[in-house]
Structure 1
Amino acid sequence: KMVTSNKQPDKKIVKMAEQNGAVVPQRTLLGEVNEHITCPLCRGYYIDATTIVECLHSFCRSCIIKHLQVKSYCPVCEMMINAAKPNIKLDKALQDIVYKLVPGLFQREMERRQQFYASRPGPAASATPEQRGEDTERIIFSPEDVISFSLEYADVTDGDSISSKSSDSNECQAQPSGSRRYLQCPAVVNISHLKKFLSMKFD
């Protein structure tokens, strides 16, 4: 049995608002969207988010499976569900959103799974890489991660076609890495900080 416990970190996300005809970013506390990314059953952040197809309510996979073992209706709207063959589906899009919004949740969950299966070689052999905590498909950064990236100016005119843009992109990729300049920064750096950085560079 795997037990997860998720604390609610003090992180902010950005939402857009319209002021005087212009779109302006506004900061919102993560707590304001918690109701949309937490399981109604365990009150923790979604882990293996699973959605009931008929009513589209979502839960942690382990939570909804345990619920359906004793009851045959949705915990939220009480719509009747075939407990013998429930129509539920993993919601990877929702789970990706949760992992990206909550700092460190993805890394902690992968560590828990690795520890769980380390002492259980039998079940580990039949588990998927994601179930074993070896998920390499998702790219989820933690606040402690550092990345290096390159910002390049694209000289594109209005008459250029998509194909020419793709060609220019391929030419840029073919350039030796030594001719590029990279910026090293935290993986969770805000876009507003990058805009200020570029503004200072070109002033």
Structure 2
Amino acid sequence: IVRYLETNKYCPMCDVQVHKTRPLLSIRSDKTLQDIVYKLVPGLFKDEMKRRRDFYAAYPLTEVPNGSNEDRGEVLEQEKGALSDDEIVSLSIEFYEGARDRDEKKGPLENGDGDKEKTGVRFLRCPAAMTVMHLAKFLRNKMDVPSKYKVEVLYEDEPLKEYYTLMDIAYIYPWRRNGPLPLKYRVQPACKRLTLATVPAPSEGTNTSGASECESVSDKAPSPATLPATSSSLPSPA
């Protein structure tokens, strides 16, 4: 839009004339769209912050608009909530007991029962590009789960897609990075896939239908040479 206004004096959307001498006066940054772009392009936020720091280090007398830390490039990816593929994510994984069992265990815990319940939680450090499928395979190998069972990973009570990465989970669900990414897992019987019996295709020159063969034989007219010779029943003239 800045390059457009260098040669045009009208808004490209509403065709209203902008300020003649200061065309950039009414321009506002779209924070929502910018955050989406930062999340879609890995490493873009980190590179942008570095470019801003390098610019203001080379031109220290340049005035920073609004004086915000983000404009000066002093905001870290952790503070912004942006993740990169090579970043290490801390997560916690525990067995999913279901909403009913969780509600039954609510209430005052006595004699250190809360510490006993936390013993099933495991903590891992994984790259942000790791998928849910890889995490499920890790749990299967770690616990020696037979192949007839399926390991499913959940966030709270919602099952996660196998192609989700940890970075996708951090963006989709309300995780504020104030602790490990809380995940759960459950083991269920795997659904058996029904296989349809395949009928072999008939080869050329072979007849697969016996009835059609009989019909084709009966439909053919007999050859005169094969008919038996019969004498006429009429008397011969004297």
Q: TM-score, normalised by structure 1?
A: 0.49
* Higher alpha-carbon Rg: 2
Q: Which has the higher contact order (CA 8 A, sep 6+)?
A: 2
